[in-house]
Structure 1
């Protein structure tokens, strides 16, 4: 496939922090393909199968977890990248790795680590993604991290836009391999970010319906859902309603993707960008929803916050999960000897100790965090159901 002039070209990559010359080539892959493959084969990526998306340690086999969410984001991202003439492999790498820095219990766990590590600079899952991929993972004999290309690290660091004030973890990584945090990222990174929104907007509706947190009639109070449901019913007037719920999700994803493609093409033409560097200095996002569609999408998000993310059954599980993680952090803080030897702080300082504990806990899966809590502190009482 021929790349658009504003796409990221692996032959023009800014390279990797550590040179990799002098070894046998392992298959006919370019640099971005290698990045994607390194992420897929990494231990942090495998751990995503037991990390919370919305529901903590879900009992149901059909609910999303971080791994399945990341795969769905990658599918949507690749589709849009191909349509726009962008680099599909870089887009996929960014989609697959965008949540790799999440601690156990999702955003609930992140809130706990942010508070527990406040005296050491706090915790941010985006920054921890970079820390994992540049420092903590060590699959190679001569360097720390996965030694990913500049473009992949840049996209992960600022896929949500320029970083005005970097947290300690991101600032540390940026100091060793500058990522131009003040500029916009590549179009591939921007597409990965909007693919994330599209995926969780729609798949959370699906999971919420499956979990019984709301009914279809509740969802249809949202104008965007109502519009797409009307189109689905018109195409399949004689099919039972229950058979059409997956079709609603597909219809809505398609509508969102089509709007992003049309709006992104419009912005690219309007901005007149001729290459990837001009994308970074365009001064605003080039990939995104149209203004009208963005308004409708925000209404859908408000519905999900009210009826799903903040629903009493979900909040009850989240509260207990936070108690577990806070108790686990306190146990390690009170006795650093409980940390495995490879996770002991390298410096004798309070900051180093807090960061070492944070690094270790952030890598845990939900079930491992519960198991360690029960071994070190006491019983966990996660409510059944999610």
Structure 2
């Protein structure tokens, strides 16, 4: 069952962009949300994701995910679900591609270090910084700052994980300008982007963790019912398959199960809620996209295993500490001597502006660039070659 045009975001019904644009140039036959997607793909921030941490810091293995490949995988899953539900594929894809733009170097570890170091200026939040990037920092156009994305794109980036009761300073600033209705749920497309992110990293982090030798397959099967169920089913279908191909089949089958569950559960929730318009979706008071209760419980068990045995594992702890030291040291170096910042990043209106300018600059760094700058300004970096 497709949900129908009434619940899908439609470019002709968009609330528009903050700045009027001169469309006399050779722009081609693209609608509002297609242009949003293309502006994300052509942005500097999107290109930098190829050298930003997903799980492993500056990995030397070509097969490990980075933020860029993760974002592409999220977009594939999100777009496939949008098509099956009859929602807007272009808006869903654009939100999936943009959802991690605001991550600083070294992933969540780098974010924690940056937020602690710059607490006096309100800290740092990667979601709020994504909005800041696309609305202020990226400047490819002659007549306005930012990418001038549609209201629906900004709304989806701001609250794809749900209503925001206490926005950080960056998100609050964007809301004051764009009126993002932070107390309501976003479009179904934004909700799809959020769960596509969960599906992608749940499964691809299993793949990377096994490939790195940090996760143990036997332990995964013993402790995670979702994995055990799919492994047993796959072995029944392919009893003679070698281990590496079984691993790939496991991840592929689990993605398929999760996607199918989301589609069925979303159709059920939409029908039960009786929503007839996008505004009904925003006013529903609950998410209308999600896993069924049964799969949600299994997925939470999987997440707990990944946190215990991968994200917080002993092999990655010293790497995270060193990554956090790099970010903290860089922030302190720029705070102590702002002249070290490149021209255009030395913002001196107030102490808060100065600190936030430092955060903007560091957040834009890739992992390798941050390492080089630390070696130039502070001293050696001690990260293992493998991760």
C-alpha contact (below 8 Å) 2:265/2:291 kept by paired residues:
yes
Tell me what 1:150 maps to: 151
Aligned length: 385
CA shift digits 1:21-77 (9 cap, x unpaired)? 452351100000000000000000000000000100011110000000000000000
Q: CA deviation at 1:238?
A: 2.2
C-alpha contact (below 8 Å) 1:260/1:289 kept by paired residues:
yes
Q: CA deviation at 1:131?
A: 0.3
Structure 2 Cα separation of the partners of residues 28 and 158 of structure 1? 29
Tell me what 1:230 maps to: 232
CA shift digits 1:242-264 (9 cap, x unpaired)? 32110000000000001100000
Tell me what 1:340 maps to: 342
TM-score, normalisation: structure 2: 0.98
Structure 2 Cα separation of the partners of residues 3 and 381 of structure 1? 54
Tell me what 2:294 maps to: 292
Q: CA deviation at 1:3?
A: 5.0
Tell me what 2:129 maps to: 128
Structure 1 Cα separation of the partners of residues 4 and 36 of structure 2? 18
CA shift digits 1:198-254 (9 cap, x unpaired)? 000000000000000022111112100000111111111222233211000000000
Tell me what 1:269 maps to: 271
C-alpha contact (below 8 Å) 1:159/1:189 kept by paired residues:
yes
Structure 1 Cα separation of the partners of residues 59 and 4 of structure 2? 41
Q: Where do residues 64-103 of structure 1 align in structure 2 (5 Å cutoff)? A: 64-103=65-104
Tell me what 1:368 maps to: 369
Structure 2 Cα separation of the partners of residues 241 and 175 of structure 1? 53
Tell me what 2:42 maps to: 41
Tell me what 2:142 maps to: 141
> What are the ranges of 5 or more consecutive residues in structure 1 without an aligned counterpart?
none
Structure 2 Cα separation of the partners of residues 241 and 376 of structure 1? 46
Structure 2 Cα separation of the partners of residues 248 and 350 of structure 1? 52
Q: Where do residues 313-328 of structure 1 align in structure 2 (5 Å cutoff)? A: 313-328=315-330
Structure 1 Cα separation of the partners of residues 191 and 108 of structure 2? 22
C-alpha contact (below 8 Å) 2:95/2:190 kept by paired residues:
yes
- In 2 relative to 1, CA 22–200 (structure 1 residues): closer, same or farther, beyond 3 Å? closer
TM-score, normalisation: structure 1: 0.98
C-alpha contact (below 8 Å) 1:3/1:87 kept by paired residues:
no
Tell me what 1:280 maps to: 282
Structure 1 Cα separation of the partners of residues 15 and 215 of structure 2? 48
The question of 1:305 aligning with 2:307 is answered yes
Q: Where do residues 48-67 of structure 1 align in structure 2 (5 Å cutoff)? A: 48-67=49-68
The question of 1:216 aligning with 2:223 is answered no
Matched residue SS, 1:123: coil
C-alpha contact (below 8 Å) 2:9/2:87 kept by paired residues:
yes
Structure 1 Cα separation of the partners of residues 150 and 4 of structure 2? 19
- In 2 relative to 1, CA 273–383 (structure 1 residues): closer, same or farther, beyond 3 Å? same
C-alpha contact (below 8 Å) 2:3/2:85 kept by paired residues:
no
- In 2 relative to 1, CA 325–332 (structure 1 residues): closer, same or farther, beyond 3 Å? same
Structure 1 Cα separation of the partners of residues 92 and 261 of structure 2? 19
Structure 1 Cα separation of the partners of residues 31 and 351 of structure 2? 43
Structure 1 Cα separation of the partners of residues 120 and 106 of structure 2? 22
Structure 1 Cα separation of the partners of residues 159 and 190 of structure 2? 8
Q: CA deviation at 1:4?
A: 3.1
Q: CA deviation at 1:315?
A: 1.1
Tell me what 1:252 maps to: 254
C-alpha contact (below 8 Å) 1:316/1:383 kept by paired residues:
no
